[in-house]
Chain A
């Protein structure tokens, strides 16, 4: 499913003294099959944007009336996720939400059931068009727990609160992907985990990308993570999209990104500093490429890296 947004704007508390424009005329397309990254500092509008993708936030449905009230020119907002037209209030939003999974920040805080099995099964039962058989539920839960790297037999009867931090997060992710969404959106999927936990979550996302979820979108503050994993990156700032580029092109704009108050990957910082010494490394900002190019520079071939 392709995501297409054109001229999307969103204002919190419109028409009140607390009105704040979170999105201003945003146009962004995410193709099917991408591993897409979204970056931007706190309050840049990135969460507001991703919450539109499964209609947690709605494009004001009766657009005409809305804009008339605000005395705006007629809207040309487009928001489509695959076949779903999100500007149309007749759209089956329930079906949309089972196709677009949303993993919130710190999803383990949303675990609630007495057993891991019940927690993961909840979403599946909720979205099933008709009451699923016991066997269907079991199969779905087993598949979801297995793909996130947990042993189904071992954890199914356990309380999710007795698991480690990394395991809890994986159970929470299993609870979202149990409906086999085609698009999976994750807000800071690796935040707060120890280094090994981070690595495991990123490996899990690549495993999902290769099997269940055609498109993955991550919101992240960790630029090294973005540089290593994403096909393209959108940079949000002040409710607008400043850049949409593959990481290797994006981080050549290191100076502009730093000026926006954003971080850049360590490799980009080193490349930027190297320019003072007249060295232009031309790497794609993944650690591996950086090492190879640096070693090649010194006539070390870099093949061994």
Chain B
């Protein structure tokens, strides 16, 4: 089953203006962890906003779990596709954590008892049980962003879209969010679409797409994509630093394999060096 499907979708912000999304065809499988890469203005966020009907496509068809997105079923579909945005401070509506999380669930008129259960579930899912009655403004950026995710989870969507949700966080906050969505994907089976500028984060995904000028220009596993280094550069993207180092070491004559973390790179280097010196 496809969670989200785009068929020849186009969109422009101004009538007759340049297309932000051009004749786009793509799909996300249920339970998939998809990373969306691309420089500023490449159409990534537009894609996210089209997928849950925040923006209306100018042409083409968008289907969510097989059902075509129309004005009539808009609110039903929005329950299934939740978006977390970039700035945690812009996504807070209440001053107490549990009230903030309840907002979305209250909005879709759930019975009171259910809301309580969903808050429990959402807090647990993001690891913030201890902060149920805390004041949102006193939390760290990573914690606030986890509250934002919990607010989306309380509506129990099947798809979670993160639109650069880690961009404003410090390294610790970023790790918290990425670990949290990885767990949601693996344990709760939630489909995750991660839009990011951090190439390192994309490595967690099972598949990645690269956007440029409103079109998909590359797709494959993150490893495949980072393999095509020269091509990435033409879309104003870079390899993760570790990928660049591996490439440069090989270019210099040290045959290290591509690795994704510091300790395996050290192992590779040690291995190659000991072979060389024999």
Is B225 positioned at the interface, with any CB of A under 8 Å from its CB? no
A-side contacts of B199, CB under 8 Å: 195
Q: Of the 9-residue stretches A95-103, A176-184, A186-194, A244-252, which lies at the interface with chain B?
A: A186-194
Which secondary structure characterizes the binding site on chain B?
helix
Cβ-defined contact, B277 with A41, below 8 A: no
Looking at A55-63, A231-239, A266-274, the stretch in contact with chain B turns out to be A266-274
Decide: A300 near B140, CB < 8 A? Known: A194-B237, A273-B266: no
B235: nearest residue on chain A (CB-CB)? Answer: A196
In the complex, chain B residues whose CB is within 8 Å of the CB of A240: none
A277–B249 CA distance with the chains assembled, in angstroms: 18
Within 8 Å CB of A291, what residues of B?
245, 248-249, 252
Q: Is A119 an interface residue (CB 8 A)?
A: no
| Residues in B whose Cβ lies below 8 Å from that of A276 | 266
A165 CB, nearest partner CB in chain B, Å: 5
Residue of B nearest to A269 (CB): B262
Give A43 to B173 CA distance when docked, in angstroms.
Answer: 13
- Inter-subunit contact B265/A221 (CB<8 Å): no
A221 touches B170 (CB 8 A): yes
A261 CB-CB contact with B under 8 Å: yes
Bound Cα distance A294, B267 (Å): 13
Q: Which of A193, A197, A272, A299 is the one whose CB lies under 8 Å from B276?
A: A299
For B42, the closest partner residue in chain A by CB is A194
Residues from chain A with a CB closer than 8 A to the CB of B277 are: 298-299
- Distance to closest chain A CB from B91 (angstroms): 15
**A263 contacts B171, CB within 8 Å?**
yes
A16 within 8 A of B: no
Q: Does chain A have a CB within 8 A of B269?
A: yes
Q: A166-B40, A221-B170, A295-B252 are in contact. Are A192 and B86 (CB under 8 A)?
A: yes
A254-305: which have CB < 8 Å to B?
Answer: 261, 263, 266-267, 269-274, 276-277, 279, 287, 290-291, 294-295, 297-300, 302, 304-305
Q: Are A192 and B164 in contact (CB under 8 A)?
A: yes
In whole Å, how far is B65's beta carbon from the nearest beta carbon of chain A?
31
Does A294 lie within 8 Å of B254, measured CB to CB?
yes
* A261 to B, closest residue via Cβ: B172
Q: Is A106 an interface residue (CB 8 A)?
A: yes
Size class of the contact patch on chain B: 35 or more
* Docked pose: A68 CA to B113 CA in angstroms: 56
CB distance B140 to A43 under 8 Å?
Answer: yes
Q: Is A164 positioned at the interface, with any CB of B under 8 Å from its CB? A: yes
Note all chain B residues with C-beta closer than 8 A to A32: none
A94 within 8 A of B: no
Contact of B244 (CB < 8 Å), options: A197, A270, A287: A287
Cβ contact within 8 Å between B269 and A270: yes
The residue in chain A whose Cβ has the minimal distance to the Cβ of B174 is A221
A192 touches B167 (CB 8 A): yes
How many Å lie between the Cα of A193 and that of B199 in the bound state?
12
Chain B residues near A300: list those with CB within 8 A. Answer: 252-254, 276
Q: Does B218 sit at the interface, judged by CB under 8 A? A: no
Question: Could you mark each residue 206-227 of chain A with 1 if its beta carbon is under 8 Å from any beta carbon of chain B, else 0?
Answer: 0000000000000001001000
Q: Within the assembled complex, what's the spacing in Å between the Cα atoms of A43 and B251?
A: 42
Contact with A along B229-271 (1 / 0, CB 8 A): 0000000111001101100110111100000001101110110
Q: How long is the Cα–Cα vector from A197 to B237 in the complex, in angstroms?
A: 10
Q: List 9 A-B contacts (CB under 8 A).
A: A42-B173, A164-B41, A165-B41, A191-B167, A195-B236, A196-B238, A273-B267, A287-B241, A298-B254
5 shortest interchain CB distances as A-B pairs: A273-B266, A269-B262, A277-B270, A195-B238, A196-B236
